[in-house]
A and B are shown apart, each in its own frame.
Chain A
Amino acid sequence: QVQLQQSGAELVKPGSSVKISCKASGYTFTSYDMHWIKQQPGNGLEWIGWIYPGNGNTKYNQKFNGKATLTADKSSSTAYMQLSSLTSEDSAVYFCARGWPFAYWGQGTLVTVSS
């Protein structure tokens, strides 16, 4: 069965970076986009971008250009998202989800930005 297993919660300092992972299993990793979504309490959900692990192509929501960097490691079937120059506005739960129709989601990774 398809599973997306995300890395654990992170507590990071303002101005730093964080890299979270999403390990895929149960399907051919290189055949589907992997998307990343941000969820903040009270602010709903925002689509960050996607990566196609087959060729490394990426597409970003303009709002997250320069903030998020998506990569993928085919050898380990793992997608990564790095968030840089962190501020309190980046504190959120981040989900990975397999391509449309987003039927499969990771369990979410809580990122807390605090000094």
Chain B
Amino acid sequence: DIQMTQSPSFLSASVGDRVTINCKASQNINRYLNWYQQKLGEAPKLLIYNANSLQTGIPSRFSGSGSGTDFTLTISSLQPEDVATYFCLQHNSWYTFGAGTKLELK
């Protein structure tokens, strides 16, 4: 089974900061990785698919990069509405989620 190691598990940042969240796969998953945002009490929202493609309607401050085993979600300028938990999901072999990164405002 493919394991996804997400870091950090908790992140505190200020409005306007550049924020990066990482996911590392236990084996090569090519670009079969998505990023999601989940706010409290809501369903997850797709931000990035296939590692670096921005989902329709998602602000351009969100971007994704990586391939193989190492992936990054970047928020270029943090906004108050970005407070949420973020997680990755791989689909190279079945489906495995990262453990999540809780992002809060400093």
Contacts and interface: CB of A to CB of B under 8 A. Distances in A.
Interface of A: 35, 44-47, 61, 95, 100-103, 105-108
Contacts of A105: 43-45
B22 to A, nearest CB: 16
B89 interface: yes
What range describes how many residues of B lie at the interface? 20 to 34
A44 B46 contact: no
Interface in B79-106: 87, 89, 91, 94-100
Contacts of B30: none
Contacts of B36: 102
A104 B43 CA distance: 9
30 contacts: A35-B95, A44-B97, A44-B99, A44-B100, A45-B44, A45-B87, A45-B89, A45-B100, A46-B97, A47-B94, A47-B95, A47-B97, A61-B94, A95-B43, A95-B44, A100-B91, A101-B34, A101-B46, A101-B50, A101-B55, A101-B91, A102-B34, A103-B46, A103-B49, A105-B43, A105-B44, A105-B45, A107-B42, A107-B43, A108-B43
Given A47-B94, A101-B34, A106-B43, 4 more contacts: A100-B91, A101-B91, A103-B55, A105-B44
Interface string B18-49: 00000000000000001010000011111001
Interface of B: 34, 36, 42-46, 49-50, 55, 87, 89, 91, 94-100
Nearest to B91: A100
B39 to A, nearest CB: 12
A43 B89 CA distance: 15
A102 B46 contact: yes
A101 B55 CA distance: 10
Nearest to A106: B43
Contacts of B34: 101-102
- CB-CB nearest 6 A-B residue pairs: A47-B95, A105-B43, A101-B49, A45-B97, A103-B46, A44-B99
